[in-house]
Structure 1
Amino acid sequence: MSSSNSVTVQILDKEYSIICPPEERNNLVSAAHYLDSKMREIRSSGKVIGADRIAVMAALNITHEMLHRQEDRSAAPAGGATREQVRDLLDRVDQALSDETGTKKN
């Protein structure tokens, strides 16, 4: 993939460049904004300290919300696809956090 497929998003005051297909660009930006707002919400509560822990708590909260929505829509045929999308987003967050940690150590 070329750099033209790279999207830069800002989450909790840090920039992340993520490669994604052009047709997924808007969804990725929306997901990043949503994640950023959840992480800011958790950070402002003062109960969780550290970007890694805040990210994990945000991921758990978002996943919990998603599972509740799925239960509410018991007739939803695309439940497996939604779970796969969430897993993909969580993998991207994990990768971005791993990249950040690796950069700090160097």
Structure 2
Amino acid sequence: MASSNTIQFTFLEREYEFNCPSEQREKLTQAAEKLNQRMTEIHQNTTASRESVMLMAALNLSFELETANQSGALRQVDDNQTLASSLPNSAERTETERAALVEIAERLHSLSSMIGDID
């Protein structure tokens, strides 16, 4: 019987049990569903072993995540450079103020990304 800190998932018709804090259950369940879907797709198109299918699915998802992170980082750099260049360069606007505004823009961008992930 699973404890309150464990969660069970089925991957390729086998059950696995994982420790999971209650506040992370929903996101972990979503991730497990996506992983299981990817593994099932790969399993249907190959005769590879269960272990190889799991590894291929994990590598595919990791590659997609890395690609998305790099794209987001590049987009954020472009956004921040645009913001920084649009700020006035007057005696009233110190470098510290400009840096603070850029940091605020970065945090807003991060929050909007998080909200987008929830939808």
Is TM (by shorter chain) over 0.5?
yes
Q: Cα deviations across residues 28-56 of structure 1 (Å, max 9, x unaligned)?
A: 1111111100101111112x511110011
TM-score (norm 2): 0.58
* Aligned match of 1:68: 67
- Give the Cα–Cα distance (whole angstroms) in 2 for the partners of residues 51 and 44 of structure 1: 11
Any gaps of 5 or more consecutive residues in structure 2?
Answer: 78-105, 107-119
- Give the Cα–Cα distance (whole angstroms) in 2 for the partners of residues 56 and 72 of structure 1: 24
Helix, strand or coil for the counterpart of 1:3? coil
* Aligned match of 1:17: 17
Give structure 1 regions of 4+ aligned residues with deviation exceeding 6 angstroms: none
- Give the Cα–Cα distance (whole angstroms) in 2 for the partners of residues 73 and 57 of structure 1: 24
- Give the Cα–Cα distance (whole angstroms) in 2 for the partners of residues 28 and 70 of structure 1: 19
Name the aligned partner's letter for residue 34 of structure 2.
Y
1:28 pairs with 2:28: yes
Any gaps of 5 or more consecutive residues in structure 1?
Answer: 78-106
Deviation at 1:27, TM superposition (A): 1.1
* Aligned match of 2:37: 37
* Aligned match of 2:117: none
Helix, strand or coil for the counterpart of 2:48? coil
TM-score (norm 1): 0.64
Rg comparison, structure with higher value: 2
Highest relative contact order (Cα 8 Å, sep 6+), 1 or 2?
Answer: 1
Count of aligned pairs between the two proteins: 75
